[in-house]
């Protein structure tokens, strides 16, 4: 398989910002969140199974999974979360594999927000790259971007892996505490390293 990097980080750490920079340098990006969204969008491959397992009330008029309703449902009932994951995960796997096969870049970057939490990605990527930022900066960025309160952001962060756990899983760390321009030199450096590893096969 082509050389691949799993890119992860906490909410608002800068994954998308960083991934786009690698994309500009010539990496192929595979965004697992976007794939998951497509699967449960109108006409998505997961819709029939979601309707069968959970009922029509979880499908919007437009034919998408009702995200708000489903989030509340799986939050209240852990077995329902397992059931939803059992539908989505195999489809996400097959769609990411297909995207990987079609990719033309020098190497692959899988953007996986919950890479550390889900556990089965690390075996599929040659390296794990963690975008890391100080929690106060992370909180400020997400409050501003999503118009959330501090408490709301902290609750989301509490449901994710800790900063420490993510760093412990990292092969490479990209620090994102400064402005976006400050990221580029380190992105360039990692890109050169990944090109060399990809060439070494
Ligand atoms: P999520 O997990 O929510 O998808 P993410 O990890 O992909 O988030 P981004 O969307 O890249 O993070 O960044 C979060 C927010 O912070 C965005 O509004 C982005 O523009 C901003 N941001 C990211 N990096 C920086 C930076 N170095 N300086 C200023 N703003 C930044």
CATH topology of domain 1-27+105-201: Rossmann fold (3.40.50)
> Hey, where are the domains in the chain?
1-27+105-201, 33-104
User: How far away, in angstroms, is 13 Cα from ligand 1 center?
Assistant: 6
Q: What are the strands of the beta sheet with 172-175, ordered from one edge?
A: 28-31, 108-111, 4-8, 127-132, 172-175
Report the pLDDT averaged over residues 59-87: 94
pLDDT tens-digit map of 172-193: 999 999 999 999 999 999 999 9
Name the strand (E) or helix (H) holding 91.
helix 78-102
* Cα(132)–Cα(167) distance, integer angstroms: 8
Per the annotation, binding residues for ATP are 12-17
Q: CB of 6 closer than 6 A to ligand 1?
A: no
Q: Is the pLDDT of residue 124 over 80?
A: yes
pLDDT tens-digit map of 146-167: 999 999 999 999 989 999 999 9
Q: CB of 177 closer than 6 A to ligand 1?
A: no
Q: CB of 29 closer than 6 A to ligand 1?
A: no
């Amino acid at each position: 398989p082509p050389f691949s990097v799993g890119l992860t980080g906490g909410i608002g750490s800068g994954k998308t910002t960083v991934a786009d920079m690698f994309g500009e340098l010539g990496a192929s990006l595979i965004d697992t969140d976007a794939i998951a969204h497509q699967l449960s969008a109108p006409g998505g491959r997961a819709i029939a199974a979601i309707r069968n397992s959970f009922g029509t009330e979880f499908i919007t008029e437009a034919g998408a999974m009702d995200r708000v309703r489903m989030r509340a449902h799986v939050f209240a009932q852990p077995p329902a979360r397992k059931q939803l994951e059992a539908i989505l995960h195999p489809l996400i796997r097959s769609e990411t594999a297909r995207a990987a096969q079609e990719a033309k870049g020098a190497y692959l970057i899988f953007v996986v927000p919950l890479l550390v939490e889900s556990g089965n990605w690390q075996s599929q990527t040659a390296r794990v790259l963690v975008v890391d930022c100080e929690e106060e900066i992370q909180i400020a960025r997400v409050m501003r971007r999503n118009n959330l309160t501090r408490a709301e952001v902290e609750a989301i962060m509490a449901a994710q892996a800790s900063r420490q756990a993510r760093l412990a899983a990292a092969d490479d760390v990209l620090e994102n505490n400064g402005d976006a321009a400050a990221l580029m030199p380190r992105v360039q450096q990692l890109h050169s390293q990944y090109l060399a590893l990809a060439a070494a096969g």
